[in-house]
Structures are given as structure tokens and as C-alpha cells.
Amino acid sequence: LLQTIRLDTVTAEYTFEVSGNAGATNTVCVRPGSIAIVSASCPDQICVHHSRISRNKETIVCLPDKVVITIENGEDSGIDVLQH
């Protein structure tokens, strides 16, 4: 665990950098009530294109950089299963 952020107490947007696997970097943007990865050194950029998360159990994963962001104890989305 690198950091715990209470999204319900964030009052202004800010960013910070996370060092990942083998010197990789990810820039995380925190806003009141939500969080996202806005830039990453990974080749596929899936984590950057993922929408912001704000609800309980939502996750953003950057597999190449081995970075995971998960919402815990947040508001439930009301969705039990989502099929693609």
C-alpha cells in the first residue's frame, strides 16, 4: 500500500506521481470524489484511457507498471454484474 486517499475530503484537484515496476511512472489525478491515471509510461495506455473511478470496488490497473488503484468503502454502484 503506497497511499490512502479519502476522496470525500478532497477539496481541490491535485496530481502526484507513482513509481512502478523497473522505473516506470504513472501520474494520478485526484479530484473531489474521483481519481484517475492521467499519464503513464506503459506502452498500451489502457490505464490512461480508463474513465475516472469513484464508486466502491472500482479499480484502475496498469499491468505493465504494476500499479493498482481501488476504491474501498465508497458508495456502491448498484450494479452486481456487468457483461461486455
pLDDT tens readout for residues 18-51: 987 688 999 999 999 999 999 999 999 999 999 9
Output the pLDDT for position 2. Answer: 87
**pLDDT at residue 78 tops 90:** no
> What is this structure's pTM?
0.83
Q: Which pLDDT score is estimated for 77? A: 46
Cα–Cα distance measured from residue 24 to residue 21, given in angstroms and rounded to the nearest whole number: 5
Q: How many CA atoms lie within 13 A of 33 on its CB side?
A: 1
